[in-house]
Structure 1
Amino acid sequence: MSDTGISSIANYIPRLRLQRKAITESNAWMAPNLVGKGKGTKAISNWDEDSVTMSVEAARRILGPEDDRSQVNSLFFASTTMPYSDRLNSGIIRAALTLEETTQCSDVSSSLKSGTTALINAFNSVNSGKSSLSLVAASDKRKARVASAQELNFGDAATAISISKDNVIAKFIDSASLSIDFIDHFRGPNEEFDYNWEERWIRDEGYLKIIPKLINNLLKDNNISPSDISRFILPCIFPRVPQTIAKKTGINPDCIVDKLAVSVGDTGSCHPLIML
C-alpha cells in the first residue's frame, strides 16, 4: 500500500514589504511601547488581492501550465478572512484554476487552525480512497488596529499543497488534536478587528501548557522518540516560546524552523503550512 503524503507545495508571498520601523515611528506619539518592536518587515498584499486571489496564485505554481487538471478530485480552502461569508469561496478558486466541475470543494474557516484542519481533511480524503489527489489552499489577509501589536505582526500570504500517494516528498504518519476553548483572541460577525487578550496569559496558560501535552500525546501514540524529530514547526509570535516547548518535550531546539517573523510576519491560517 502506497504512503499518503505531500507531493508538492508552493507559497505565494506578496512582493510588497512594510518596514515595521515606519509603523512604530509614525505612532510613537500614541504608542511609545511599540518602539522596541520595530524590527524587520511584514508582507502586505496589494489593494486588489485577497485570500482567494493569493490562494489561486499559490495553487497555479503547483499545477503548472498544463490544461488538463482532471487529476485533482478535491479542493480544501482555509481562511479566516474569506471575501464572501455566504458563497463557496473554494468554488471561485476551482473556476480560476480551471479544475473540473466535479471537483469536491470545501471551505474551512472560523479558526486559525483552519489551515491544518484542511490539510488533515485532505490526508483523510486520499487515505480513504475518495480522492487520488487533494489540493489544499490556505491564505489570510487580516486587518489590525492602528498602533497595535497586531499591526506589526500580521502579514499576508498564501500556501498551496497537493496531497496524493504518488511522488510523495513528505509522508503523513498521524495527527493529534486537542479541543480546548482557550480564548487568546476572537472576532465577532460585525467586527472589523480581532479582540486580543493579554500576551502573558496566551503564552503561559496557552502555548506553554497546551502544546507540550499535545506533542507528548502524538509522540507516545506513534512510538516516536523526541530525538527522532529533525524539524520542529511551531507558528508562534512570542520570542523563545518554541525553544521552551522544545525543551519541555525533549526535542532538540536546534531543529526549530524559522517562523519568518522578521521577513514576512504572522500569516494566520496558512502560517503553519508556509513554514513547511
Structure 2
Amino acid sequence: MGGLIAYGAYVPHRRLRRAEIAAVLGGPAAPGTRAVAGHDEDSTSLGVEAGRTALRGLPQGHAPRRLFFASSAPAYTDKTNATAVHAALRLDRSAPAADMCGAIRSGLDAVTAAVDSPVPALAVLSDLRGGLPGGADERDGGDAAAALLFSGSGDEASTAPVIAELLGQGWATAEFLDRWRPQGDISSRIWEERFGEQAYVPLAEAAFAQALKKADLTPDAVDHLIVAGAHGRAVRAAAARTGVPREAWADDLTRAIGNPGTAQFGVVLCDVLDRAGAGETIAVLLLADGASSLVFRTTEALGERRSSPAVAEQIAGGDDSLPYATFLTWRGLLDREPPRRPDPEPPYAPPMYRSTDWKYAFVAGRCASCGTRHLPPADVCRACRHTGEMEPEPMADVPATIATFTVDHLAYSLSPPVISAVVDFDGGGRLRCELTDTDPGAVRIGDRVEMSFRRTQTARGVHNYFWKARPARRVPGQG
C-alpha cells in the first residue's frame, strides 16, 4: 500500500456567523461560523490553493505524476476541472488529470485511486456546500479543500520519506436514498434522519472492523478517530459504535468552518496531522453511500514535513464579519443591481492556451543575459534589449510588497469596490493586479502580500482564472 508523503489544506478567509443568518431570517441562533469561499473562489481555485500548500517544499523530483480531483460542486460539467488544477500546480504534461465529481463519496474515491497508483499521485478534495436560505445545509455547510500526496506503490514510486503509512482499508457499499440533488437544483434533498442512521451504522461498523482487521489493530489502539459525513446523526451514532475511546475522537471542525462535504475528512485529517506525533494511529471513517475506512500510522518524518500554514492557523486567521446579504449575493441567491457598466467580456480559448504557464502557473520570464524579471514574459528584454527565449521564473510563491494602489467603486464586481494594486516582488519584477481577502480601509503602501489563484470573473459561462494578491498570512500571536 502507498504511503502519504505530503499534505495541505485550504480554508477560505471569509466566515459567516450562523447568528447572522438568524438575525436576518429569524429563528434560533446557531453557534459558530462557517467558512465561505469568496466571490472570486470556486472548487477549482480552492483545490489549487490546497495543492500549493501540500507541494510547497517537496523535494525536487517527487512531484505528482497523477492527479485526481474530487468535488460535489465542480465549476464545469462536460469539461474536466482537474486540468486547470494541473496547470496551476505546473505538473508535467505526461501526468494524467482526472475528475471524480458529483458525490460526497468522491473524495474517498480520489484518495483510494491515489493510494493504488504505481507512481506518486495527488488527490485534491474541494467543495462548496450550501442550500436554500435558512436551511440546515446552508447553516451547517462549509467551503474548504485538502490535498494528499501519496508515494505510489510501483517500481516508479517516490523515494521521499513517508509521513503516514496506510495500514488498512475497509468498505461497505450499499444503495439507498439518503441525500440527493437532481441535476440543476441548488439544494440537496434529504430523507428522514432515523432511516439514514439505521442504514449507515451497520455499514460503518462493518467497514471499520474490516480496516482494523487488515491493520491488525483493536479500537483502543486508535489515537485519533475521524468520522465524517453529511448525516450528522448517523456520524455521531457510528462514532459511538466504533469502540474507540471518546478522548481519541478528532474535532470535526464543523463549529468553526462547517462541513465541506467531499473535502471534510481530508481537511480534518490535515488538522490531525498538524498535531500528531510519530507512531500514532489515525483512523478515518466516511459515511457516504455506504461506509469507507482508512487506517494510517504516522512516522518520524512527519515532524519535518508539517504543512504550513496549519489548519488551526487558517481558522484562527479568518474574518467573521461577512454580511449575510453578501453571502447570498456571492452564492447567486440574491440578484442585486449590477454596476452601470458593460458586462465583462469572456476570455477567449486561443490566447488562454498560448499563455497557459503565465495564466495558470504564474510563470514569468528572466532575461538570460542580464537577469531582469518580466511579468508577463517578453520576447525582448526591456533592460538590455536582449532577444531570445526567456528562462522560466515561477512566481506563485514569491512574496511581494504593495508599491501603490487605488480603490475603484465603479468597476464590475460581485464584491465592490475593486482594489487594484501595483506590487513589487522580492528579487525584482512588478505587476499590476487585484487585491483580495481584504478591506479598502485596511490597505497600506508597503504592506506585504502573497499570490493566490482566483476566478477573476465568469462571463457567458466561461470562468477566467488568474492570480490576485492577498495580505500575507501571519501566524496568530506572531508579528
TM-score by length of 1: 0.88
Unpaired runs of at least 5, structure 1: none
- Cα distance in 2, alignment partners of residues 69 and 52 from structure 1: 25
Structure 1 position 185 matched with structure 2 position 175: no
Q: In the alignment, which residue of structure 1 is the partner of 2:251?
A: 258
Q: In the alignment, which residue of structure 1 is the partner of 2:122?
A: 135
Q: In the alignment, which residue of structure 2 is the partner of 1:267?
A: 260
SS class of match (1:8)? strand
Q: Paired residue for 1:212, among 205, 221, 230?
A: 205
SS class of match (1:262)? helix
> Which is richer in strand?
2
- Cα distance in 2, alignment partners of residues 112 and 27 from structure 1: 28
Higher relative CO (Cα under 8 Å, sequence separation at least 6) belongs to: 1
Displacement of 1:89 in angstroms is: 0.7
Displacement of 1:248 in angstroms is: 2.3
SS class of match (2:20)? helix
Q: In the alignment, which residue of structure 2 is the partner of 1:6?
A: 4
Displacement of 1:100 in angstroms is: 1.1
The answer to whether the 8 A contact 2:67-2:98 is kept is yes
Q: Paired residue for 1:157, among 144, 157, 165?
A: 144
Q: In the alignment, which residue of structure 2 is the partner of 1:43?
A: 35
Q: In the alignment, which residue of structure 2 is the partner of 1:147?
A: 134
The answer to whether the 8 A contact 1:246-1:252 is kept is no
- Cα distance in 2, alignment partners of residues 76 and 14 from structure 1: 21
- Cα distance in 2, alignment partners of residues 232 and 212 from structure 1: 14
- Cα distance in 1, alignment partners of residues 236 and 217 from structure 2: 20
The answer to whether the 8 A contact 1:230-1:255 is kept is yes
Displacement of 1:17 in angstroms is: 0.5
Q: In the alignment, which residue of structure 1 is the partner of 2:80?
A: 88
* More divergent stretch after superposition (246-255 vs 260-269): 246-255
Q: In the alignment, which residue of structure 1 is the partner of 2:473?
A: none
The residue identity in structure 2 corresponding to 1:248 is R
The answer to whether the 8 A contact 1:63-1:69 is kept is no
Unpaired runs of at least 5, structure 2: 152-157, 270-479
Displacement of 1:221 in angstroms is: 4.0
Q: Deviations along 1:32-58, whole A, 9 cap, x unmatched?
A: 3xx15x100000010110000010011
SS class of match (1:173)? strand
The answer to whether the 8 A contact 2:169-2:210 is kept is no
The answer to whether the 8 A contact 2:33-2:257 is kept is yes
Q: 1:191 to 1:239 in 2, by over 3 A?
A: closer
- Cα distance in 2, alignment partners of residues 7 and 184 from structure 1: 35
The answer to whether the 8 A contact 1:153-1:237 is kept is no
The answer to whether the 8 A contact 2:168-2:212 is kept is no
The residue identity in structure 1 corresponding to 2:20 is A
- Cα distance in 1, alignment partners of residues 40 and 101 from structure 2: 22
Displacement of 1:63 in angstroms is: 2.1
* More divergent stretch after superposition (39-48 vs 223-232): 223-232
Q: Paired residue for 1:173, among 151, 167, 170?
A: 167
Q: Paired residue for 1:77, among 69, 78, 86?
A: 69
SS class of match (1:174)? strand
Q: In the alignment, which residue of structure 2 is the partner of 1:15?
A: 13
1:15-34 map, 5 Å: 15-28=13-26, 32=27
Q: Deviations along 1:236-276, whole A, 9 cap, x unmatched?
A: 46667656434423211211100001100000101011111
Q: In the alignment, which residue of structure 2 is the partner of 1:56?
A: 48
- Cα distance in 1, alignment partners of residues 231 and 185 from structure 2: 25
Q: In the alignment, which residue of structure 2 is the partner of 1:117?
A: 109
The answer to whether the 8 A contact 1:69-1:99 is kept is no
SS class of match (2:72)? coil
SS class of match (1:206)? helix
Q: 1:119 to 1:192 in 2, by over 3 A?
A: same
Q: Deviations along 1:78-112, whole A, 9 cap, x unmatched?
A: 00111111111111111111111111111112220
